[in-house]
Amino acid sequence: MQDLAGHDMPKKSPIFDGFAFLWGLLFGLCIASTPVMACPASCHCIEKSGMTVVQCMSRNLEKIPSDLPRDTVVLLLASNHITHIPNHAFKELHYLQEVDLSNNEIETMDVGAFQGVSDSLLVLDLSNNRIQSVPKEAFARLRAKISLSNNPWHCECTLQEVLRELRLDPETVNEVICHTAVKEEYAGKPVIQVLDSGINFCNFHHKTTDVAMFVTMFGWFTMVIAYVIYYVRHNQEDARRHLEYLKSLPSSSQISKDFDTISTVL
């Protein structure tokens, strides 16, 4: 075989060709076995403007997928049957900026539900779920714009303290309604309207706690008084019986007379 200049080219050895073939085969297998992006089977992943959008809407999911791509920026989980947000639900998703969990059946969330994404998350939609209350630390250090509308909120002290630290979506803030409340008169009213009127749910909480403590103390005091009364009456009864027993005994003068009579006879 000659090159383009007409010179003879050295022949390749069969051993060299074998090594080259094996190397190429191994390299190809490595590339084939390394996925560009691992996407959950129930979702659809899209690369858009350099961002990974994971679309899992209306897939009958009952929980948040655990095998999400690490480069996920937008996660769409709306219109499923998710009931709970566990601790570290979005662990290792360090680029996550938006999460849509609206129109699910979420009732509860753990304290560490959003740990690991508090710095990156910009938008969080939890509207149209079944959330009545949340742990006080669940949204700790979260800077995202949050939608909590159309949930059956129970308005009390903890919820007030949670909302005080959040950046609520201004377009839906009036749809965060007190479904129930520590005072029935506030049920059915927007939470923000109640709080802006100067109502402090924590005062009701303290008053309720004070009343409960007073009732407990009164109960203990009543028990102590009842025991003292029982103890005194029981001792009085014993004293009366002892006194009657002593009265039933012959007197010392009578015993002396009987002793003198016996001595005279003898």
For 19-51, give the DSSP string. Answer: HHHHHHHHHHHHHHHS-S----TTSEEEEETTE
pLDDT of the residue at 30: 39
Averaged pLDDT, 13-39: 46
Poorest-pLDDT segment among 73-87, 88-102, 244-258: 244-258
Between the alpha carbon of residue 252 and those of residues 126, 246, 249, the distances in Å are 95, 12, 9
Averaged pLDDT, 169-186: 94
Poorest-pLDDT segment among 152-156, 174-178, 250-254: 250-254
Between the alpha carbon of residue 90 and those of residues 1, 11, 83, the distances in Å are 61, 58, 16
> Which residue, among 131, 175, 171, 168, has the nearest Cα to 149 in the 3D structure?
175
CATH 3.80.10.10 at 34-199, yes or no:
yes
Give the pairing of strands 98-100 and 123-125.
parallel
> Which residue, among 127, 215, 130, 141, has the nearest Cα to 173 in the 3D structure?
127
pLDDT exceeds 60 at position 227 = yes
Beta bridge pairs of residue 45: 54
What is the Cα–Cα distance from 33 to 30, expressed in whole angstroms? 5
Beta bridge pairs of residue 99: 75, 124
Averaged pLDDT, 139-156: 95
Beta bridge pairs of residue 181: 155
**CA dihedral over 71, 75, 77, 83, signed as positive or negative:** positive
What is the Cα–Cα distance from 197 to 155, expressed in whole angstroms? 14
For the chain, the average pLDDT equals 79
More confident residue, 49 or 125: 125
pLDDT exceeds 50 at position 208 = no
What is the Cα–Cα distance from 46 to 145, expressed in whole angstroms? 24
pLDDT of the residue at 58: 97
The answer to whether the predicted template modeling score (pTM) of the entire model surpasses 0.75 is no
H or E segment to which residue 18 belongs: helix 14-33
The amino acid sitting at 258 is D
More confident residue, 174 or 19: 174
pLDDT exceeds 50 at position 122 = yes
pLDDT exceeds 50 at position 4 = no
Between the alpha carbon of residue 190 and those of residues 149, 181, 184, 203, 205, the distances in Å are 10, 11, 13, 19, 20
8 A C-beta contact, residue 54 and residue 43: yes
